[in-house]
Structure 1
């Protein structure tokens, strides 16, 4: 909790009203906790499968189940939020992560394979909640502060994700003391972390940011007051159909995030394998991936500021170009050069972050508040599918042509972000011209 405390509330944007500041403070604390839970599956999921299933070839099963759970979880959480608000939706998602974690522990203790597979699927729903929370941070933010709000929530995930892997030994020893195999220890920690996050959201996320945003939107639509006289606009400016038509649409934000997710997962997945083929151990791979994960989340507040300052479209283009540069560098880097690959993976994480933050801002602005949550759940479900596709395709490409071919393919795919951005910018200009013409 110390990391969360350090991030609240002094680190929050000073111009935010009390309701938004409270929302961000609660989300930051919950994300710090849930990030610890997220780290469990990443750290020991494959090792658990190898141990319990008795086959290294099946070690990728946890990742596939995490992804499946994330797809279902994103859709379910989006619908829950749409109907009941962010508080019950996010609390249910974190609770699913806790329940799945306990299921994994029980399965490992009982050596029950079927229970393990089901529990990993449920656990994946908790990982979907980690990303869904960024939308809650933007619900009450003014349009010119949405990027920073989403970025601050994403940043909080980093704290737990960094702490979690460092507690693997301690949690394993605790589990062993209770007669449970040590590899289940991180999932005990995950159950505690996700459970605490669920309670925190359920008790403290008041007022519900999405429900309040809806009330403000209705009040603003019914009010005949001048914009400068409406107190509702101090919290949020609802997106009307006319406003949405002048900005990028949902498809733009979705494509930007899908392309970034597919490229990032594909290159990231095969980088440790590439390092291993050139004689590097797990320490080198851990260093490179650690730097990559840091670059995925740590720049989030800066990315959000750039979106708020310059608009989302320039940032999406910058994200695509950064991903392309990462692919080119990864392809050109000698296999023995850990440093060059580390730089490439840092750029890969940064490009992904720019695309995710800007894409989030685009989707949030483009969808009316009364339909926002379900649309956001569908977007994150599609992201999980894109990540799974990228991960599966990466092995095929490397087997056929090698890691450099994969990296170049990733660079070319990332460059598609640029024409998507240009098309959206041209459509925005035409939309403004149409508005003026009327």
Structure 2
């Protein structure tokens, strides 16, 4: 929770000004979406090495890797602003996504040792912790820019916030390394090892296929390797269970498919609309640079509040009413948000209301979908499936961010909102089909 507050500040400051800075360096909004999507792709791809590290050594080194890469990315963006280099800005934003990957993976650390009946709530608490930093972050972008330029006269506009981002990520990584002891994933494996030690390859320990509406995977799925410590196996390591095996496992279980689809499409809709909102505000006639930053800060703060502030209530609803109803609610909110934002004028209260609703819909799909995915697969195979989920989610958001700039430039922001809403409809149909789901082990 502590590191998500700090990391949330760094991520939100970068999101608030990243599109504006890259638009200035590249000469227009058309390529600014590529920079935002670069951050999403970077976070998504980083999930692969983070997953491998977590598989072997636990959560701490994996999360530390994410924050370290994010620190390097923020400093590269500062260098890009100084040297007016668009390609360097793209590289920096790509690495900047590592911090987002770390913040997202932290939610799984929260449920490694959770009671099954309280998984949704415990996951939501760590998601909620991001609220403080994420809501404050966009509003700190202008003071950070002014403060750094006061002491660094040659620093270009919009570069200052990324200096603060680098410091925030560095501190978050340090705290993870020092304070996350004992490692929750390793402890969870120690507790599960007596059960998993005698499980034959291909079987699904801890998950009843009938409960999730699917059959166990085929014989090609990699089996667990148990390393004994004394009389009791201490750590269960899926040495050959990578992304391909995780994909086969998820596609074999309907509930897992729904969990992955909900998080991916919810993120796609959110990133596609949110990333182009600063550009839309910046197109307001007769508005200067300072006012753009102020309005962007307010609108994105409300959006991020929708993403995180109510997440404990979303978590309680996930445990009380079920994963599927919360996912359906989130999809409905995303559709409503696209309608509200897509029909709003530049920088108006209606636009802010649409972005708040967009964030709340994302919260429902993220918490409901992540909780459903966690409990649909056995504990020894969770890191790989969680990494797969973040990879798919990140690539989906990256595609939306990359195409968003092109759509806004060619057809306008309202068309972008309409296309984003259309992407959510197939997942509504999928959620209506998956009914028989219970909490797993």
Fold shared, TM-score > 0.5 on shorter chain: yes
Q: In structure 2, how many angstroms separate the alpha carbons of the residues matched to 1:394 and 1:55? A: 13
1:246 aligns with 2:220: no
Structure 1 position 207, deviation (Å)? 0.8
Post-superposition CA distance 1:274-315 (Å, at most 9, x none)? 556675853555433332221011111111111111220111
Pairing 1:166–2:139 present:
yes
Residue 184 (structure 1) aligns with: 159
1:194 to 169, 174, 185: 169
Residue of 410, 414, 435 corresponding to 1:425: 435
Asked if the contact 1:69–1:125 (Cα under 8 Å) also holds between the matched residues in 2, the reply is yes
Mean alpha-carbon deviation: is it higher for 194-203 or for 369-378?
A: 369-378
**Is 1:46 matched up with 2:19?**
yes
1:392 matches 2:366: no
SS in structure 1 opposite 2:110? helix
Residue in 2 that maps onto 1:267: 273
Partner in structure 2 of residue 304 of structure 1: 315
Q: 1:163 to 1:211 in 2, by over 3 A?
A: same
Residue of structure 1 in register with 2:262 after alignment? 256
Matched, 1:33 2:44: no
Q: What secondary structure is seen at the aligned counterpart in 1 of 2:111?
A: helix
Q: 1:357 aligns with which of 357, 367, 370?
A: 367
How many Å separate the matches in 1 of 2:391 and 2:35?
Answer: 18
Distance in 2 of aligned mates of 1:106 and 1:395: 24
**Matching of residue 341 in structure 1 with residue 351 in structure 2:** yes
Tell me, yes or no, if the aligned pair for 1:284 and 1:338 is still in contact at 8 Å: no
Corresponding residue of 1:379 = 389
Q: Name the structure 2 match of 1:146.
A: 119
Find the aligned partners of 1:244 and 1:280 in 2 and give their Cα distance. Answer: 60
| In the alignment, structure 1 residue 328 sits paired with structure 2 residue 339 | yes
Aligned counterparts of 2:101 and 2:192: Cα–Cα separation in 1? 27
Q: Which of 180, 192, 196 is the matching residue for 1:205? A: 180
Unmatched runs of 5 consecutive residues or more in structure 1:
1-27, 224-238, 433-438
Question: Counterparts of 1:41 and 1:322 in 2: how far apart (Å)?
Answer: 26
Quote the residue 1:90 is aligned against: 63
Give distance in 1, aligned partners of 2:416 and 2:85.
37
Counterparts of 1:402 and 1:319, CA distance in 2: 25
How big is the shift at 1:414? 2.3
> Does the 8 Å contact 2:299/2:355 carry over to 1?
yes
Distance in 2 (CA, whole Å) between partners of 1:337 and 1:170 is: 20
Ranked by relative contact order (alpha carbons within 8 Å, sequence separation 6 or more), the top structure is 2
Q: Structure 2 stretches of 5 or more lacking a match?
A: 199-203, 213-253
- Checking the alignment, whether the CA contact within 8 Å between 2:73 and 2:93 is kept in structure 1 is yes
- Partners of 1:395 and 1:48 in 2: CA distance: 14
Greater Cα shift, 271-280 or 340-349: 271-280
**Cα deviation per residue 1:44-84 (whole Å; 9 max; x = unaligned)?**
32344355556665444431321221122122212211221
Mapped contact 2:307–2:360 kept (Cα < 8 A): yes
Moved more, 250-259 or 334-343: 334-343
Quote how far apart the aligned CAs of 1:326 are. 2.4
Task: Confirm or deny that 1:119 pairs with 2:125.
Answer: no
